[in-house]
Structure 1
Amino acid sequence: MIIRYLLSLFLCVTASLATLLAPAAPAWAVEPAAASATSAAAEPDPLARETPRSAISNLLQALADQDYERAALYFDVPTTGSRQQRNGPEQARRLLVLLDNGGSLKPFASLSNDEEGEINDDLPIDREQVGTITIAKKKVPVLLARGMDEPHQVWRISRETISQLMAASTPAGDPKDDDAVLIGGAPIEDWLKLLGLAAASFGGLWIAAALIVSGLQRRVAEPGTNSVLKFVQAALPPLSLLAAVAIFYTWADRLPVSIVARQILLRYIGVFAVVALVWLALRLIDAIAELAIARMQRRQARQVISVVTLLKRTVKFLLLAFSGVAVLDTFGIDVTTGIAALGIGGIALALGAQKTVENLVGSVTFIADRPAQIGDFVRVGDVTGTIEDVGIRSTRIRTGERTVITIPNGDLSARQIENFATRDRFLFNPVIAVAHGISYAKLLEAIDIVQQILRDHEKIAEGARARLARLAERSIDIEVFSYIDVSDFDESVIIREELLLQIYARFEHAGLRLAYPEIQASTRQFQVALDAEALAPLLSAARTAPDAGGPASSSAETSAAANTEASRNAPASVSPSQSVP
């Protein structure tokens, strides 16, 4: 029974959404005769009887106000002076009595809001069933008939139903007690009965759901990671609310309470049904997305995490939008015109929100093309860092200085993206500068040492080479070209360090010196400066000595000049310890 009412409730909500979102007929499909209709015919019916929903809603309002004269206008009786027309108020009173005692009307959302009515109900095109009443212990349908009430096409209680009302035996007088306190056209006792039923059903089911979750938590070994427990925790609270709504729908029609109170609560309890469905859907979306993200993290499929996150946000947004439309319709707000206006307003919105649309398209392009994933280390323009999140509008990158830079997805998809995380190996390409002054045999030994180190290391990929690259002015360069066969950056740094330390140790053991051009040039210039400073007093003394010392002075000057010139011409590869004093 509960499942059947849940299904009926879901169908009611679905039908309401479908009716709201149904496209309007295009202008070219309007009949020529309709285009030439008079302005009087275009005016709305003052009693709002154009659709079955509006007719029943306004009829109930008249009955709640105990205005049977106005309620009689919703019955299909002749408008001229006749006995049936004079019996209109009595017919309205009888209908109210029968509805209060075992009768029922369709919920607000289930009533057709189309001027043509429901065309797939196996009834004539001008008939619509809106409820049932009990006459002589038999269920009799309450039918509406569509007809002309100049100058409008309107829905009214059909003459078949009127005949059955007049044949039924009902108590005379007003169905409501004169001493009863009325709220909204119904006795306060009826409101309390219905509200008590709603509170009891929801409270009982909520407690039952809490007990079930508590029992499962005690039985499950790892409550934090159990997928079944997470599903139950996500689904039970909204399911308990949805089941409470179904129970209320089932028992509200069986209680001997005013039809006015019943219909009002059944109308607005539909909001709770929509809330329960949306709540259930949102919690299931979160639970499924959480499980999917955890599984993708175990598989290192980080790009899929971005897709799951974007899909989750999009589905939530659409779900909330459609549920908002359904709630507005439940409160009687006509959203059809607003939805149709979105077609025109959407153009203006798109023109004013070009950047937003561009970022949305950019996010879809980025995720579909997959140039990078969450957790990848990338360079985008002059920004270098790790991608932390790919959103609908922008992408956040954590830099090495621990700052977060946000780049709009429209700009990101148009930029050149260098992804360091997708490297399958790392280039090892140092240039080893050997000092001048070594023999040919020693140079061959140096090249062989580097080649041997590359061959012996297990993490160096095949095809590694070390060759004499150039005889430079300050050094003899041996160029290495090889790949470190690992995909992890930290591991590659350790291996690079190992290789360089081995080359340095083997060179030191073989007596090979590495060239330091800048240091040697600076040392040579410093030595020349020292030589000139040391010889300056001698040159000065030689110039001031007597003539007898002339030859000696000339010899000293010649020796000092020779030493200075020798210092200038000393080779760059000579270390400071080998310089001529």
Structure 2
Amino acid sequence: MAEQAAAPAPDPFSRETPRGTVTGLISALAAKDYTRAAHYFHLSAEEDEAQLADQGAIWATQLQAALDQQGTLLPFGALSNEAIGRLDDGLPGDTEEVGRLGGEENLPILLTRTDSPAGSEVWGISQETVEALEAASSAATDPAEPEGGESAEVAGAPLLDWALLLGIAAGSFLLYWLISAGLLAFMRRLVADREKSAIYRFTQAALPPLSLFLAVVTFHLWTGSIEASIVARQTLLRYIGIVGWVALAWFGLRLVDAVARVTTARMERQQRRQAVSVVLLLRRAAKILLAVIAMVAILDTLGFDVTTGLAALGIGGIALAFGAQKAVENFIGSLNVVADRPAQVGDFCRAGDIVGTVEDIGMRSTRIRTLERTLVTIPNGDFSSREIENFAKRDRFLFNPTIGVEYGISAAELRRAVEIIEQILRDHEAVDNDGLRARFAHFGESSLDIEIWSYIIVADYAESRLIRQELLLAIFERLEEAGLAIAFPTRTVHLVTESD
């Protein structure tokens, strides 16, 4: 049975975007598969397949030689991953600039979008760039015959080039790390209490990941001016982007931890335990969000299509939101309680028909110890929507009793009773004189009623009850000394006998 020809392996790099075209071309050059590299050029269809592959191979080697000397390609993250390319670069819609050939003229490397044999639109090296390559090189080198004396190669690039580029990356990070370590040592000498210094905390959290990120930026800037294999440069530039995302995520995580520690310490000093629990939850949520963003960016850098995954996450998030509606409602209620602070732990308050002392405000519910010593748990979504009367927030207590004196006294004695009561109030240091009054209000069924209106200017409930008692006893004693008795309910019954 005749052996069937093996089908060519599918190209993992889509030519439908400029990023896929550049990445696929670099992959082909690294594998020295110049026949595959030829398909990333827009070749004329007038020649047969073998001639097209040979010509494309020549252009591919010329492009690689130009890029190895002084040419540059845009970093992986700067290449457009959209089928239409970039529309804000001032070029025609079917043209995309992806690098420079270098040399004196420093001509651009352009991609153009045309129809593929399969009918889809693909990107390839433009005819203008091909003509620039032919003008810059008078003779093509046969890719199948390597030049003598070449150094050992790893992954399609000389080993010395890999060592040079990796050395630049490691040296950049070491330099910035030493600078950050020296800066931290200098700050430790200046800051006396490092635990309470927010500036030191933030600087300590930011410098290590910032050193790594600056090293990535430095590597991006230096590699464009170094004569090294474009395969090694572009491969490292692609994967150094992953290191950059890791550095940003590391920076964000450490910054979130530093902010959370400073905020938590401040809340604990203010005895705001419910705010501490909210800060801890927000810290976890922020760290998860940073980790997800970094993971999506890394997967995108590795070439995975994250659009479908993000759409699935969006649908799953909607379903989860519907399923966890009550939990989300209670979480929002917790944020409202912490932001508005209608009641705090230890406050005596009334929430709806529940009266008691707040013992704990958690992320899901609030617990209140009632006067009967029972513990009531109220979901925060419900608690935040109730009318909350906080007795602990009172700055003064209303003193508004009605004093009734007996009938049978004269008008002068009644006026004297009013003056005595008002003077007692004015003489007491815990009674606010602003708006204070004692007035004869009305004729009661069993007494002549004197109404008192004043405020006891203390915040503690127990102390206010003690002052209230002192005032009532003083009123009773002074009225008694003046011969004015406090009335009590009495009723006089007149019996009339009818004669025959």
| TM-score for both structures, normalised by structure 2 | 0.71
- Conservation of the 8 A alpha-carbon contact between 1:104 and 1:131: yes
Task: Show the counterpart of 2:33.
Answer: 67
Task: Show the counterpart of 2:15.
Answer: 49
Superposed CA offset, 1:473-510 (max 9, x none): xxxx9998753223x33xx5335335536766997998
Superposed CA offset, 1:143-167 (max 9, x none): 2121122122111112222233334
Shift of 1:111: 0.9
Shift of 1:457: 1.9
Superposed CA offset, 1:95-129 (max 9, x none): 22332333322111111111111122122222211
**Corresponding letter in the other structure for 1:496:** R
Which has the larger helix fraction?
A: 1
TM alignment of 1:565-580, pairs within 5 A: none
Shift of 1:375: 5.2
- In the aligned structure 1, how far is the partner of 2:284 from the partner of 2:24? 41
Q: Secondary structure at the match of 1:154?
A: strand
Shift of 1:140: 2.8
| 2:463 pairs with 1:494 | yes
TM alignment of 1:103-114, pairs within 5 A: 103-114=71-82
Shift in CA distance, 143/221, structure 1 to aligned 2, threshold 3 Å: same
- In the aligned structure 1, how far is the partner of 2:233 from the partner of 2:383? 57
- In the aligned structure 1, how far is the partner of 2:331 from the partner of 2:131? 62
Q: How many residues align?
A: 459
Instruction: Give the counterpart of 2:214 among 226, 234, 243.
Output: 243
Superposed CA offset, 1:382-433 (max 9, x none): 4744476575xx3555869999987543222344433233323234578999
Task: Show the counterpart of 1:257.
Answer: 228
Note the residue ranges of structure 2 that are not aligned, 5 or more in a row. Answer: 1-9, 484-500
| 2:445 pairs with 1:485 | no
| 2:214 pairs with 1:219 | no
- In the aligned structure 2, how far is the partner of 1:46 from the partner of 1:245? 27
Shift in CA distance, 179/224, structure 1 to aligned 2, threshold 3 Å: closer
Shift in CA distance, 145/348, structure 1 to aligned 2, threshold 3 Å: same
Superposed CA offset, 1:246-273 (max 9, x none): 1111223334433223222222222232
Shift of 1:83: 4.5
- In the aligned structure 1, how far is the partner of 2:177 from the partner of 2:157? 29
TM alignment of 1:161-560, pairs within 5 A: 161-166=129-134, 167-168=136-137, 173-174=145-146, 180=152, 182=154, 184-220=155-191, 223-226=194-197, 228-281=199-252, 319-342=290-313, 344-363=315-334, 366=337, 370=340, 372=342, 374=344, 377=347, 378-380=349-351, 382=354, 384-386=356-358, 391=363, 394-395=364-365, 407-427=378-398, 453-461=424-432, 462-463=435-436, 483-486=455-458, 488-489=459-460, 492-497=461-466, 500=469
Shift of 1:321: 4.4
Task: Show the counterpart of 1:149.
Answer: 116
Superposed CA offset, 1:347-366 (max 9, x none): 43333222234335535655
- In the aligned structure 2, how far is the partner of 1:63 from the partner of 1:251? 22
- In the aligned structure 2, how far is the partner of 1:198 from the partner of 1:388? 52
- In the aligned structure 2, how far is the partner of 1:282 from the partner of 1:403? 42
- Conservation of the 8 A alpha-carbon contact between 1:52 and 1:155: yes
- In the aligned structure 1, how far is the partner of 2:452 from the partner of 2:147? 103
- Conservation of the 8 A alpha-carbon contact between 1:305 and 1:374: no
Shift of 1:68: 1.4
Shift in CA distance, 447/322, structure 1 to aligned 2, threshold 3 Å: same
Q: Which moved more, 1:84-93 or 1:209-218?
A: 84-93
Shift in CA distance, 159/407, structure 1 to aligned 2, threshold 3 Å: farther
Shift in CA distance, 504/341, structure 1 to aligned 2, threshold 3 Å: same
| 2:107 pairs with 1:140 | yes
Q: Secondary structure at the match of 1:130?
A: strand
Q: Secondary structure at the match of 1:147?
A: strand
Q: Secondary structure at the match of 1:134?
A: coil
- In the aligned structure 1, how far is the partner of 2:66 from the partner of 2:88? 27
**Corresponding letter in the other structure for 2:208:** P
Task: Show the counterpart of 2:69.
Answer: 101
Structure number with greater Rg is 1
Shift of 1:198: 2.1
**Corresponding letter in the other structure for 2:225:** R
Shift in CA distance, 210/179, structure 1 to aligned 2, threshold 3 Å: closer
| TM-score for both structures, normalised by structure 1 | 0.62
- Conservation of the 8 A alpha-carbon contact between 1:303 and 1:373: no
- In the aligned structure 2, how far is the partner of 1:227 from the partner of 1:278? 21
- In the aligned structure 2, how far is the partner of 1:176 from the partner of 1:464? 112
**Corresponding letter in the other structure for 1:194:** L
- In the aligned structure 2, how far is the partner of 1:100 from the partner of 1:425? 83
- In the aligned structure 1, how far is the partner of 2:125 from the partner of 2:30? 17
- Conservation of the 8 A alpha-carbon contact between 2:176 and 2:212: yes
Q: Secondary structure at the match of 2:106?
A: strand
Superposed CA offset, 1:261-289 (max 9, x none): 32222222222323333444555566667
Shift in CA distance, 502/242, structure 1 to aligned 2, threshold 3 Å: same
Task: Show the counterpart of 1:76.
Answer: 42
Shift of 1:380: 3.9
Superposed CA offset, 1:23-46 (max 9, x none): xxxxxxxxxxxxxxxxxxxxx988
Shift in CA distance, 446/507, structure 1 to aligned 2, threshold 3 Å: farther
Q: Secondary structure at the match of 1:119?
A: coil
Superposed CA offset, 1:50-86 (max 9, x none): 1111111122222222211111111111353275542
Task: Show the counterpart of 2:60.
Answer: 92
Shift in CA distance, 373/91, structure 1 to aligned 2, threshold 3 Å: farther
- Conservation of the 8 A alpha-carbon contact between 2:213 and 2:244: yes
Task: Show the counterpart of 1:117.
Answer: 85
Superposed CA offset, 1:423-446 (max 9, x none): 23234578999xxxxxx99xx999
- In the aligned structure 1, how far is the partner of 2:21 from the partner of 2:331? 45
Shift in CA distance, 400/74, structure 1 to aligned 2, threshold 3 Å: same
Note the residue ranges of structure 1 that are not aligned, 5 or more in a row. Answer: 1-43, 434-439, 472-476, 513-581
- Conservation of the 8 A alpha-carbon contact between 1:359 and 1:408: yes
**Corresponding letter in the other structure for 1:485:** I
Q: Secondary structure at the match of 1:325?
A: helix
- In the aligned structure 1, how far is the partner of 2:132 from the partner of 2:164? 30
Task: Show the counterpart of 1:6.
Answer: none
- Conservation of the 8 A alpha-carbon contact between 1:430 and 1:480: yes
Percent identity, aligned pairs only, is 45
- Conservation of the 8 A alpha-carbon contact between 1:453 and 1:502: yes
- In the aligned structure 2, how far is the partner of 1:427 from the partner of 1:222? 47
**Corresponding letter in the other structure for 1:146:** R
Shift in CA distance, 484/113, structure 1 to aligned 2, threshold 3 Å: same
Shift in CA distance, 379/244, structure 1 to aligned 2, threshold 3 Å: farther
- In the aligned structure 1, how far is the partner of 2:112 from the partner of 2:313? 34
CA-based RMSD: 5.2
Shift of 1:205: 1.0
- In the aligned structure 1, how far is the partner of 2:64 from the partner of 2:377? 64
- In the aligned structure 1, how far is the partner of 2:132 from the partner of 2:189? 60
Q: Which moved more, 1:323-332 or 1:379-388?
A: 379-388
